């Protein structure tokens, strides 16, 4: 393979096809890089068999040495298109999906497209193709598509054709948006097929079969009829993906070479009608019976299938696909009632289009048109009439593997890709929200308590540990969805092991669930080791803040509440915890002590640690005395315990308002007892980072999880966000992004205090007003515990 593109601009551009580590840095497949042609020639002129090449990464500008076997050369214009895609994995997918890439390269202003916005698809027209934020220092500027949204997409945009003050095209406000290649689907000309490749036809080249045509072909010397679902070319040969009429209600796709296909002459006659005339009476009765069982009538007890029904479809070789019906009706040339289905995976052949007309909109290769009788209710989400969850059963649980399998927590773009959407997260059932919210918070985007999944603790119940790992955490991290049956299986075990009959049906609190599974079943060490009043042994798994009403704390943050609680009860942390779970002060589930609580994104526990070096809050030297009286004095800073060195303590307590205070002496570690000069060595700060917040409203728990480093990187999870059906239906868990949280985290305290909850954007009100439990982690300590 030649690594030097045939046409260059002085640089050679590449995409990584595999993950690559270089020193302390790690680059995922899909990252882009480049080197100068001069550098390339210098590397390979004298050593044609050289295996490594020094390149510059386009994403962060770092220079690394990469094995040439994982470098795939790309043209400059292709590299610019791919660079507009933020996720490396998504970028690589687009590079490998040549159909979309070739369509993007040929896109021009005025072309009709379908734009993806927040996982929804809307019609639009390309108005601009090019860069929108150029940098003189960047080797290559990413290319975006400026799209004017139309029809139902109007007012879904974010601009009027301008970006950061520069106008790239003109449209109505709220109708313009700039999107990368991966969020634009390019509408083909009517008659084009869908498939593995779809190049433009040469003027002299005519394809005799189009999508929707009735065709015939031979299978084992038997003439079989069907309908063309896709037409594509591989190399120089054309293929047709055909849906034949076969026994049963499955839609079996066969890929037939074009020269083996015979186009039906009577196009006006429905191909399916022709099939019916050819089959025997017994077959016809069987088809009618199956249509009755799986179609609209719902005679088998299943509800009628309708738009938004969740269904499963059996394809060739018994493979099943799952999706949601987005359209019902009749297509040209087809007699049977058809269903347009949006699939869960890229196993379809369309984006909602049939013969040049869009009947619904979805992502490319997610759409499929099938006979309605071929759709069966999705058994994953079906309940029996008795209310049992056989909907989530797979007909018997597979044997657990001997060697435990581990999936890492989801972060950044991967977390968004896997977790966001409907039927995502953990499916709720029968008052399970306290379990669902707790497990999603602890395991979706962090590994701080992954020891619960593998470590053989003293009292460890292997069955419960296996269920937690194999049926809940691994599916959550792998597919983004955990069925309710798996959670019920865990709850049944908790009922049996905890000798409490109410864990499968009653409302509980997260701390009750966590204490039971951590302490009584798995037997893990307490997360917190506390000393109170000089007495150790006060260990716990969740820390409950208990405090009197503080008139001066109108809108407190978590840091203030923890410090007040520790000081009130003379408590200290014996050691740095790997995970610090904090319950907010409440009186029952209804009464909240504070109308709002500000999340502290970092929790500084330096002054809460026993025998840890402390810093004088006045001069910064080593503190030797702590004063609880000064902590309550408004003259000092609103957060942080008040400790002083000997000199500053004398000055502070010489004031008449402080003379009655009684400072207590601190233990100073030996290595900090002699320090010189003053303040030359800073006391190290121990900080923990917030990774999740559980909230409660009207006895229903939800959770916020931080999936990335930025303030806006929050997602909101509700295991019972929606419901399908009545008492025999099922809950639809949903995960949504909530970047609006960052807006309020950045507000000054006085401004946030005046914000009316009903006026807060999105779900931000629930984070600030309904917080029940905060979860912090120390990544440093998690390595040792």
Residues assigned a catalytic role: 433, 700
Nearest by Cα to 606 from 643, 561, 656: 643
Measured over the CA atoms of residue 264, residue 268, residue 269 and residue 270, the dihedral's sign is positive
Please name the residues in contact with 48: beta carbons below 8 A apart, sequence gap of 6 or more. none
- The gap between the terminal CA atoms of the chain, to the nearest Å, is 47
At CB < 8 A and 24+ separation, what contacts does 433-436 make? 433/700, 433/701, 433/702, 433/719, 433/720, 434/507, 434/508, 434/509, 434/510, 434/512, 434/513, 434/701, 435/487, 435/490, 435/491, 435/508, 435/510, 435/513, 436/487, 436/701, 436/717, 436/719, 436/733
Measured over the CA atoms of residue 75, residue 80, residue 85 and residue 86, the dihedral's sign is positive
Nearest by Cα to 242 from 233, 250, 231: 231
Helices (H), 516-617: 558-568
Label residues 317-331 b or e (16+ Cβ within 10 Å = b): eeeebbbbbbbbeeb
At CB < 8 A and 24+ separation, what contacts does 667-674 make? 667/610, 667/611, 668/613, 668/614, 668/622, 668/624, 669/611, 669/612, 669/613, 672/613, 672/622, 673/622
Label residues 613-636 b or e (16+ Cβ within 10 Å = b): bbbbbbeebbbbbbbeebbeeeee
d(CA 286, CA 280): 10
519: left (phi over 0), alpha (psi -120 to 50) or beta: alpha
Give the rounded distance of the alpha carbon of 433 from its chain centre: 19
Q: C-alpha angle with apex 329: 324 to 334, nearest 5 degrees?
A: 115
Contact 111, 79 (CB under 8 A): no
DSSP 499: T
d(CA 336, CA 273): 8
Tokens 């915890």 belong to 577
Tell me the C-alpha to C-alpha distance, in Å, between residue 520 and each of 159, 265, 451, 499, 542: 56, 74, 16, 11, 14
Residues shown for the chain: 785
DSSP 422: E
548, β-bridge pairs = none
């Amino acid at each position: 393979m030649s690594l030097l593109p045939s046409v260059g601009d002085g640089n050679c551009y590449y995409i990584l096809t595999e993950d690559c580590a270089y020193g302390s840095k790690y680059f995922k497949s899909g990252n882009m890089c480049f080197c100068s042609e001069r550098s390339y020639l210098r590397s390979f002129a004298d050593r044609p068999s050289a295996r490594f090449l020094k390149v510059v990464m386009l994403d962060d500008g770092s220079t690394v040495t990469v094995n040439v076997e994982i470098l795939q050369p790309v043209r400059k214009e292709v590299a610019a298109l791919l660079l507009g895609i933020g996720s490396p994995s998504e970028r690589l997918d687009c590079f490998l999906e040549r159909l979309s890439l070739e369509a993007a390269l040929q896109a021009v202003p005025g072309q009709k497209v379908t734009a993806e916005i927040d996982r929804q698809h809307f019609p639009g027209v390309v108005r601009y193709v090019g860069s929108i934020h150029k940098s003189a220092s960047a080797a290559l500027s990413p290319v975006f598509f400026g799209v004017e949204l139309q029809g139902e997409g109007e007012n879904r945009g974010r601009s009027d054709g301008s970006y950061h003050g520069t106008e790239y095209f003109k449209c109505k406000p709220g109708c313009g948006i700039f999107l990368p290649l991966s969020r634009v689907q390019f509408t083909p000309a009517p008659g084009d097929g869908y498939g593995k490749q779809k190049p433009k036809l040469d003027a002299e080249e005519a394809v005799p079969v189009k999508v929707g045509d009735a065709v015939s072909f031979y299978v084992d010397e038997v003439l079989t009829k069907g309908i063309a679902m896709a037409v594509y070319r591989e190399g120089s040969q054309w293929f047709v993906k055909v849906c034949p009429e076969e026994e049963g209600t499955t839609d079996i796709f066969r890929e037939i070479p074009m020269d083996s296909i015979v186009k039906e002459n009577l196009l006006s006659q429905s191909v399916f009608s022709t099939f019916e005339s050819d089959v025997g009476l017994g077959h016809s009765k069987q088809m009618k019976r199956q249509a009755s069982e799986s179609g609209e009538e719902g005679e088998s007890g299943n509800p009628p299938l309708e738009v938004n029904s969740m269904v499963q479809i059996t394809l060739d070789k018994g493979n099943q696909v799952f999706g949601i019906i987005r359209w019902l009706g009749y297509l040209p040339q087809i007699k049977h009632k058809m269903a347009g289905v949006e699939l869960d995976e890229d196993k379809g052949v369309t984006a909602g289009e049939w013969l040049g007309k869009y009947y619904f909109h979805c992502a490319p290769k997610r759409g499929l048109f099938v006979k309605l009788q071929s759709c069966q209710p999705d058994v994953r989400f079906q309940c029996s009439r008795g209310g049992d969850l056989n909907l989530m059963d797979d007909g018997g649980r597979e044997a657990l593997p001997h060697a435990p399998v581990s999936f890492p927590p989801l972060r950044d773009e991967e977390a968004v890709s896997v977790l966001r959407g409907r039927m995502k997260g953990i499916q709720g059932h029968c008052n399970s929200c306290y379990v669902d919210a707790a497990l999603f918070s602890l395991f979706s985007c962090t590994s701080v308590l992954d020891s619960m999944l593998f470590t053989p603790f003293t009292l460890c119940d292997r069955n419960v540990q296996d269920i937690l790992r194999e049926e809940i955490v691994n599916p959550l991290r792998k597919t983004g969805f955990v069925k309710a049956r798996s959670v019920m299986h865990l709850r049944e075990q908790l009922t049996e092991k905890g000798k409490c009959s109410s864990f499968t049906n009653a409302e509980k609190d997260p701390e009750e669930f966590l204490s039971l599974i951590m302490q009584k079943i798995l037997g893990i060490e307490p997360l917190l080791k506390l000393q109170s009043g000089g007495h150790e042994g006060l260990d716990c798994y969740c820390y409950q803040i208990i405090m009197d009403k503080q008139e001066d704390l109108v809108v407190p943050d978590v840091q203030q509440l923890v410090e007040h609680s520790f000081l009130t009860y003379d408590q200290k942390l014996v050691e740095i915890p790997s995970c610090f779970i904090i319950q907010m002060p409440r009186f029952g589930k209804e009464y909240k002590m504070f109308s709002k609580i500000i999340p502290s994104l970092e929790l500084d526990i330096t002054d809460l640690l026993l025998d840890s070096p402390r810093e004088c809050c006045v001069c910064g030297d080593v503190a030797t005395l702590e004063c609880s009286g000064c902590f309550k004095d408004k003259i000092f800073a609103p957060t942080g315990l008040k400790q002083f060195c000997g000199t500053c303590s004398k000055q502070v307590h010489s004031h008449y308002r402080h003379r009655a205070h009684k400072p207590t002496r601190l233990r100073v570690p030996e290595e900090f007892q002699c320090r010189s000069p003053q303040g030359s060595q800073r006391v190290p700060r121990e900080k923990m980072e917030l990774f999740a917040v559980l909230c409660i409203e009207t006895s229903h728990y939800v959770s916020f999880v931080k999936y990335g480093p930025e303030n806006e990187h929050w997602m909101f999870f509700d295991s019972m966000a929606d419901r399908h059906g009545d008492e025999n239906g099922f809950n639809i868990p949903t995960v949504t992004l909530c970047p609006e949280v960052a807006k309020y985290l950045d507000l000054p305290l006085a401004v946030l205090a005046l914000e009316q909850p009903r006026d807060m954007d999105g779900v931000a009100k629930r984070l600030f007003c309904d917080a029940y439990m905060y979860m912090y982690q120390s990544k440093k300590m998690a390595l040792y515990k």
